[in-house]
Each structure stands twice: as C-alpha cells, then as structure tokens.
Amino acid sequence: MNLRSYLVRRRRLVDRALRRYFPPNRKQPQRLIEAVRYSLFSGGKRLRPILALAAAEAVGGEPRAVLPFACAIEMIHTYSLIHDDLPAMDDDALRRGKPTSHVVFGEGLAILAGDALLTEAFRVMADCAGTSRNPRRALHAMREIAEASGAHGMVAGQAADLEAEGAAPDLPTVEFIHVRKTGALILASIRAGAMLAGARPSQLHRLSRYGECLGLAFQIADDILDVEGLPAQTGKMQGRDKARRKVTFPAVLGLPAAKERARTLLDHALAELAPFPAAAAPLREIARFIVGRACELPRS
C-alpha cells in the first residue's frame, strides 16, 4: 500500500469533519472560536484520529462511522497541546513552527480554548452515541477515552512530568509519564475505533497490545527526534527537552539503547497484527513510519 496517499486521504477526511464542527463563520464569542480554530487547524498530522479509523478498518468496520469519535479524539489531543504549552506548564512559544496559542491570544483565552475543545469533544461523542444503533458500545468507547484523558491518564502524565522536571531521570518515572501523557490516548484511539466497529474480544486484545507498543514507541521516537531531528522535521527547536531538563528515554537509556527499544516495540506491535487480514495494512505501515522517522529500519 502507498502510506503517503493513504495518510493524505484520511487527513482530508478528518479535516473536513473537524471544519464542520468549528466552521469559520461561527461567531460569538469570536476570539474564542478563532483561538480554537487556530490550534485545531495548525497542520497537525491527525495521527490519533487516523489510528481510530484504521483500527475500525482492520476489524472490517466502516471508517466513516467512527469519524465523530475520531474528531473528538483530535479535539482532546489539541486541547492537551494548548494547555501543555502554557507558561505555567512547558512554556513553549513554538508548536509546529508557529507561535503557540497563548503567544497569539493571551493565556486566558488559550486556557479557555483548551477547555472548549475538551468539552466539545464530549458533546460530539454524546451526540454520536445518542444516535448510534448501539449506544452502549459507543458509551463504552467514550468512557475509555475519558479514562485515558483524565486524572489517571493524560492529565496524570502531565502532572508527573511537571513534578519530575529537573529531577534525576530514571526509567520507571519516564515510563510512568510517557505511558500516560502520550501512550494512553493513542491506545484509546485504537481501542475506541475497534470497539465502535464491533471488534471481537480477541481482536481487541491484540489491537490493545499493538496500541501499547505503538504509544511507547511513538514517544521514544519523539524523544530521539528532539535530540537528532532538524527543526524542519519536528517544528520544534532541537535539544529543547535537554535544555528544559525533561525526563526522556534517550536521557535515561542513551541514544543507541533508546533506538533499540523503539525497534523492539515495533517488532512486538507488528507481531500482534500478524493474524489480521490485509485491511490491517495501514496500522502496520503507520507503526513502521513512526519508528522509521527516528531510527533506521531493516527493509520490509
């Protein structure tokens, strides 16, 4: 399969749906909607929603039926980026090569834009679940997304990250943070997509293991790119994590071992997909792409 054209098509599908939730002509209060749109349409790769759609496909489902949930997940991801970038958090002035929300709109509005995105995400899911043929299944998916995002998921990861900043990094702390801060929502995207498409328990089990490996591999790759990547590739300044004394995998393991770890996780992720049909090809290629950005891979 051609991953690049697949990603372009999927990204367009997600972008079009997101634009319907936040049309540009929607007023009152104008600056708030502007702030929401600024971050939501700032060139994100739409990885999480694409994973939700691809997971639905992998179990024979219709990706479009999962689209509202996929959009909601992207709204949650975007809210988390806006809040993480705030001066009281990671204090980042640049994201995807553009000034961050609080730089453009001020801190107050940036906080509110994040709050609005998080709330709209659940409105969209409640709406979709309410008209779904299987509301209980949709509620189950919604619950998992909330769990992954909340006080024991993403928010917990960011809180632990704040606490750990400047401390001597150790592997359990790095894993605790990354599993929650990025891993949980990636895993929930995959599980939600599969659940909504009616995955069998055995399929869901394998996709969950795939998602756990992918989530961790994604963060390790991100950490490696922070050390080695070019700003044009990452949209961020090189060496930012080190300057801020962030706990990262390369800091704890060293670069070669971090790369080895990412490759091993990729192998495990791909092994979980082995029994799936050709419809799981996007999930396979996405995993190879994510790890391949940061580490050289053997040719498949």
**Binding positions for a copy of itself, rule: CB under 8 A:** 28-29, 31-33, 36, 79, 83, 86-89, 106-112, 114-116, 118-120, 122-123, 126-127, 129-130, 135-136, 139-140, 142-143, 146-147, 149-152, 155-156, 158-160, 162-163, 176
Length of the chain: 300
Minimum CB separation of residue 69 from a copy of itself in Å reads 12
Minimum CB separation of residue 38 from a copy of itself in Å reads 14
Of 134 and 264, the one with the shorter C-beta distance to a copy of itself is: 134
Nearest 5°: CA angle at 195, between 142 and 265? 100
Minimum CB separation of residue 259 from a copy of itself in Å reads 29
Query: d(Cα 87, Cα 36) in Å, to the nearest integer?
Result: 18
Of 37 and 288, the one with the shorter C-beta distance to a copy of itself is: 37
Of 129 and 174, the one with the shorter C-beta distance to a copy of itself is: 129
Minimum CB separation of residue 32 from a copy of itself in Å reads 4
Of 98 and 140, the one with the shorter C-beta distance to a copy of itself is: 140
Minimum CB separation of residue 298 from a copy of itself in Å reads 38
The number of beta carbons lying within 10 Å of the beta carbon of residue 6 is: 16
Of 58 and 148, the one with the shorter C-beta distance to a copy of itself is: 148
Q: Which residues contact 158 (CB under 8 A, 6 or more apart)?
A: 80, 83, 84, 89, 181
Nearest partner of 154 among 197, 120, 188, judged by Cα: 188
Q: What is the 3-state secondary structure (H, E, C) of 269-290?
A: HHHHHCCCCHHHHHHHHHHHHH
Determine if residue 18 is left, alpha or beta; phi over 0 gives left, psi from -120 to 50 gives alpha, anything else beta.
Answer: alpha
Query: d(Cα 111, Cα 129) in Å, to the nearest integer?
Result: 28
Nearest 5°: CA angle at 184, between 4 and 7? 10
Minimum CB separation of residue 153 from a copy of itself in Å reads 8
Q: Which residues contact 129 (CB under 8 A, 6 or more apart)?
A: 135, 138, 139, 142
Q: What is the dihedral of CA 170, 175, 176, 179, to 10 degrees?
A: 160
Minimum CB separation of residue 189 from a copy of itself in Å reads 16
Minimum CB separation of residue 151 from a copy of itself in Å reads 4
3-state secondary structure of 98: strand
The number of beta carbons lying within 10 Å of the beta carbon of residue 170 is: 12
Burial (CB count within 10 angstroms: exposed 0-12, middle 13-18, buried 19+), residue 83: buried
Of 89 and 279, the one with the shorter C-beta distance to a copy of itself is: 89
